Amino acid sequence: MRRKFIFLAAAPILEINVPTDTVPAKVNQTAPALATPPHPLDALWLVRIDDSEYGPYTGHDIEKYVEDGRIDAHSEVRRENGGQWIEAIADAALSRLFKPKLRAPQCRAESSPPPVKASGGSTVVQVTNMVQQPSYIHPSAMGADKSPGVALLLSLIFVGAGQLYNGDVGKGILMFFMCVFLWMVLLGWIINLWSMIDAYSKAKTLKQQHQMFMLNARIG
């Protein structure tokens, strides 16, 4: 197919035939999206204090522990995927956590109150009450040194035994009677499975809480 273009001018009319097949089609090219590089603190580290290993923790978790004073620049760390134990400040990614932060300058008051002066024959006595709040730690925050594998094995042998091992006596007894009742309609396997999963996850949580409590106690 050919299109006709007519140009009008003072000169004679010129007729040009341009074949449409020669016009190149428009090509839409979309640039590939650039992948966001991972954050240096997204990696995992192990922490060793007094020959005891804790973790793994992400760099963001370690940053919070540094702010709380639980981990300092000389605490021993290593990457989860292997490597030697080194000081935290020697790690390329963690060293930035120990750089001094600039503090905003404090504004001084334009005028300070005049000092208190005693009149003749009198004495000024300054009394300061220092009341220290007693530190109380709830027993649930201490956790317990429980083994998730032992809890799972006990629940596999006897329904509710894993809960008794974790200290959930009421839950363990309830699971036992529910299992006996449901096995009458051949559905007791649901409670068996629930008992094993619950015992394993609760023991794992208690163990992690116990590790964090011991870490805070040794650092503090």
In the predicted structure, residue 20 carries a pLDDT above the cut 60: no
Please check whether residue 161 is in contact with residue 171, taking contact to mean a CB–CB distance below 8 angstroms. Answer: no
Let me know if 77 is exposed, middle or buried by CB neighbors in 10 A (0-12, 13-18, 19+).
buried
Gap between the Cα atoms of 76 and 107, Å rounded: 39
> What confidence tens digit (pLDDT) does each residue in 75-103 have?
888 887 877 888 888 887 888 787 775 45
pLDDT at 67: 82
pLDDT at 104: 53
| Pick from 97, 96, 57: nearest CA to 77 | 57
Give the pLDDT band of residue 217 (cuts 50, 70, 90).
confident
> What confidence tens digit (pLDDT) does each residue in 102-160 have?
455 555 555 555 665 656 566 666 666 665 555 545 556 567 888 999 999 999 999 99
> What confidence tens digit (pLDDT) does each residue in 150-182 have?
999 999 999 999 999 999 999 999 999 999 999
pLDDT at 9: 46
SS3 of 106-137: CCCCCCCCCCCCCCCCCCCCCCCCCCCCCCCC
**Rg from Cα positions in the chain:** 37
Q: How many residues does the chain have?
A: 220
Give the pLDDT band of residue 190 (cuts 50, 70, 90).
very high
In the predicted structure, residue 31 carries a pLDDT above the cut 70: no
pLDDT at 49: 80
pLDDT at 122: 62
Q: What are phi and psi of 135, to 5 degrees?
A: -85, 125
| Pick from 121, 141, 160, 125: nearest CA to 216 | 141
Walk me through the domains of the chain, giving residue ranges and CATH numbers: 41-99 (3.30.1490), 143-220 (no CATH)
Residues pairing with 79 in the sheet: 45
| Pick from 167, 148, 145, 146: nearest CA to 156 | 148
pLDDT at 7: 45
Please check whether residue 48 is in contact with residue 85, taking contact to mean a CB–CB distance below 8 angstroms. Answer: yes
